[in-house]
Chains A and B, each alone.
Chain A
Amino acid sequence: MSRRVDIEAVWRTESRRVLATLIRLLRDFDRAEEALNDAFLAAAEQWPRDGMPANPRAWLVSAGRFKAIDKLRRKARFDVVAAELALEEEAQMPPETEAIADDQLRLIFVCCHPEVPADARIAMTLRETCGLMTEEIAAAFLAKPTAIAQRIVRAKNRIRELQLPYEVPEPQDLAERLDAVLRTIYLIFNEGYAASHGASLLRADLCAEAIRLGRLLVALLPNPDAEVEGLLALMLLQHSRRDARTDAAGDLVLIADQDRRLWDRAEIAEGVALVNRLLARPELTAYGIEAAIAAQHAIAASPDATNWGEIVKLYDLLLRADASPIVMLNRAVAIAMRDGPEAGLSEMEAIRQRGALAEFRYLHAARADLLRRLGRTQEAREAYAAALALTHQAAEQRFLEGRLREL
């Protein structure tokens, strides 16, 4: 009896979970990665001959663990530390199936541990929990593979030196630790979202990875968490517009000018359902409010049908959670849409008088747009030029140059 076994498919679905468990059992990233490779090698040898085991994941975990102990035992002839580890490993209880689901969570929390340098958290998360290759991460972040590789090596050394615990944080620490995880996921998403269209063809789909991580957290966390669901909803709603955000030439299309038929209805439905659930809660969190704003855009049949009054109210709420100048700027844009350019402009002047966002290109671009609509051409020209001087992204530069020409 011979059965076709698709090891590649098993690698795609199981390798990250098996790795997460092996890291717990072997208490070392490198040893776990080695054991993972050995386990899949054994599977490639045995499964086509003997058939696929009933529980491939458990089989791979125990094969990887056995191989690691075997290697330690052989090394033990030269190495006292290895000898001790081998004895310890053998004394350990076999893996309980209940803990395995939590291993993926443990892995995410250790990759995004506050003691891991912030620039390494993204690389660690994408490589260890999403299974991206170092070279793919480097291409996605327009960095050199050697730079990303060194970050990962340093992060693993730090985890080892500080003996960072491989665990889901206790309830009293959960909010703070989760915050670092969500920040990392949102940075991954934004990197993918900001990628210009042409370049993104070569880049790993970071937005999809970030959404996958968000879904994983929602599914694995013991209690539904409003921040996690808010972030997932926000990412889904932003991602739903990806096909409409750029035109055939790769130029940016503003939300008011986008072809709404290109918006992904399934993602909008999922995002809006999450938002409705969040709105039913007594308290809205920052990501939840941002998701609710994105939902207002997503459900509007046309730009004119957008409920700007509701959006301004949501920005008022958001200001209470996050009184940053960027939130103030977005609120000013919404006020301009609700009450006219004059009202929006005076809100923006208030931000400028505080001396905030002078180097932020979107403030200049938003001001320029309102000045243009008021017919204050010379001031609009100056503001577009200021925005252009601060922009390095080709698609944005083309957009601003186009606006300048039209004045």
Chain B
Amino acid sequence: MLYVCLVHFDDKQVFSRLSETEKRELDIASTGYDRELAASGNLIRAQALQAPESAVLVRVRDGKISATDGPFLETKEQLGGFILIEARDLNDAIRIAGGIPLARHGTIEVRPIYQVPQHENAAS
């Protein structure tokens, strides 16, 4: 089963509170955990994101494309990265999410992947 672990945290709070050494350790632990998940066969893809201010919001309305400044939601904890995993079931995914080093500072949202039904092409 596929799940995505969405890593939410308050980057300003986390990075102002941690010392340089602690930040470095968090980075090492995070990449270390990605490697561990790769070795255990659970990892599909892990990616950290740039700061929320770097986001661009894209919409198409009446055939016109618009691009505005992000982030999408003005919340304290922002999406900071994601890990797409293969896990046995939801509790296995929760166990894996609990091992993500940033779970100690923020919140990991575990979402099962939705399999979009394959529809027959309507145009015949």
Residues of chain A whose beta carbon lies under 8 Å from any beta carbon of chain B: 30, 33-34, 37-38, 41, 71, 74, 78, 127, 133-136, 145-146, 148-149, 152-153
B47 CB, nearest partner CB in chain A, Å? 23
Residues of B within 8 A of A33 (CB): 92, 95
Which of the residues A30, A41, A133, A146 comes within 8 Å of B95, measured between beta carbons? A30
Residues in A whose Cβ lies below 8 Å from that of B95: 30, 33-34
How far does the Cβ of B22 sit from chain A's closest Cβ, in whole Å? 11
Bound-state Cα–Cα, A12 to B95, Å: 21
CA distance A37 to B99 in the complex (A): 15
Interface centre among B32, B36, B90, B92 (most CB of A within 10 A): B90
Interface residues of B in 1-46 (CB under 8 A from A): 1, 25, 29, 32, 36, 40-42
> Closest approach, in angstroms, between the C-beta of A63 and any C-beta of chain B?
13
Which residue of chain B lies nearest to A152 when distances are taken between CB atoms in the complex? B91
Q: Is the interface of B mostly helix, strand, loop or mixed?
A: helix
Q: Once the chains are docked, how many angstroms separate the CA of A149 from the CA of B36?
A: 24
Would you list the 9 A-B pairs with minimal beta carbon distance, nearest first?
A133-B89, A134-B90, A134-B89, A149-B90, A134-B91, A30-B95, A145-B90, A152-B91, A41-B41
CB proximity of B27 to chain A, nearest CB, Å? 12
The answer for the CA separation of A352 and B64 in the assembled complex, in Å, is 73
Instruction: Give the shortest distance, in Å, between A129 (CB) and chain B (any CB).
Output: 14
Q: Are B36 and A127 in contact (CB under 8 A)?
A: no
Contacts A38-B40, A41-B40: A78 and B25 contacting too (C-beta < 8 A)? yes
* Chain B residues with CB under 8 A of A74: 32
Pick from B1, B32, B40, B112: contact of A37, CB under 8 Å: B40
A149 touches which of B1, B41, B42, B91 (Cβ 8 Å): B91
Q: Report whether A133 and B88 are in contact in the complex, using a CB–CB cutoff of 8 Å.
A: yes
Instruction: Give A78 to B101 CA distance when docked, in angstroms.
Output: 12
Q: What are the residues of chain B within 8 A of A71 when measuring CB–CB?
A: 36
Which B residues are closer than 8 A to A by beta carbons? 1, 25, 29, 32, 36, 40-42, 88-92, 94-95, 98, 112
Interface contact A153-B25, CB-CB below 8 Å: no
Distance in Å: Cβ of B42 to nearest Cβ of chain A = 8
Which residues of the other chain, A, contact B1 by a CB distance below 8 angstroms?
Answer: 133, 135
A404 to chain B, nearest CB (A): 42
Per the bound structure, the CA–CA distance linking A149 and B91 in Å amounts to: 6
Of the A-B pairs whose beta carbons lie under 8 Å apart in the complex, a sample of 26, sorted by A's number, is A30-B98, A34-B40, A37-B41, A37-B42, A37-B88, A37-B92, A38-B40, A41-B40, A41-B41, A71-B36, A78-B25, A78-B29, A133-B90, A134-B89, A134-B90, A134-B91, A135-B1, A135-B89, A145-B90, A145-B112, A146-B90, A148-B90, A149-B91, A152-B91, A153-B91, A153-B94
Which residues of chain B come closer than 8 Å to A153, judged between CB atoms?
A: 91, 94
Question: Shortest Cβ distance from A293 into chain B, in angstroms?
Answer: 38
Give the shortest distance, in Å, between A224 (CB) and chain B (any CB): 34
Give CA–CA (A145, B90) in the complex, Å.
Answer: 7
Smallest beta-carbon distance A44→chain B, Å:
9
- Excluding A37-B41, A127-B89, A152-B91, 15 further A-B contacts by CB distance (< 8 Å) are A33-B92, A34-B95, A37-B42, A37-B92, A41-B41, A74-B32, A127-B91, A133-B1, A133-B88, A133-B90, A135-B90, A135-B112, A145-B90, A149-B94, A153-B91
- Bound CA–CA A133/B25 (angstroms): 35
What's the least CB distance linking B118 to chain A, in Å?
A: 21
Cα A30 to Cα B29 with chains together (Å): 19
How far, in whole Å, are A333 and B41 apart by their CA atoms in the complex? 59
Q: Which of A134, A135, A152 has the most CB of B within 10 A?
A: A134
- The minimal Cβ–Cβ distance linking B74 to chain A, given in whole angstroms, is 26
Task: List B contacts of A145 (CB < 8 A).
Answer: 90, 112
B29 contacts which chain A residues (CB < 8 A)?
A: 78
Residues of A within 8 A of B92 (CB): 33, 37
Bound form: Cα–Cα A55–B36 in Å: 28
Closest Cβ of chain B: how far from A36's Cβ, in Å?
9
CB distance from B5 to the nearest CB of A (A): 14
The smallest beta-carbon distance between B86 and chain A, in angstroms, is 10
List residues of chain B with CB within 8 A of the CB of A152: 91
Q: Which residue of B lies closest to A15 (CB)?
A: B88
Chain A nearest CB, measured from B76 CB (Å): 23
